[in-house]
Amino acid sequence: MPRLPPLPGAALLFLLTLPACSTPPRQPAPRPLLLQRCPAVTACPLPALAPTTNQQLADSWQQHRAALESCAAQIDHIIHCQQNTP
């Protein structure tokens, strides 16, 4: 029985059907763990004033009011943070 010469194309086709070594698919980089911490509570200093005229009294009232509003905003921010932190 005569033997047929090997066909290079058939061998190539056979090799293509075999599983090949390949790199595994890239996995996404792990996401960093973010810990949400609420800001630390700090003191709200009020300016020390000693008005001697009505104009200074009016100005000091405005300064105290602005300082109290700033302090209230800090407190509101901390309360909001604590309510939304699991």
- In whole angstroms, give the CA distance from residue 83 to residue 38: 10
DSSP letter at 68 equals H
Residue 78: pLDDT above 60? Answer: yes
Mean pLDDT of 2-15: 62
The pLDDT value given to residue 2 = 62
Mean pLDDT of 28-36: 75
Helices (H), the chain: 8-17, 54-84
Residue 82 makes CB contacts below 8 A (sequence gap 6+) with 38
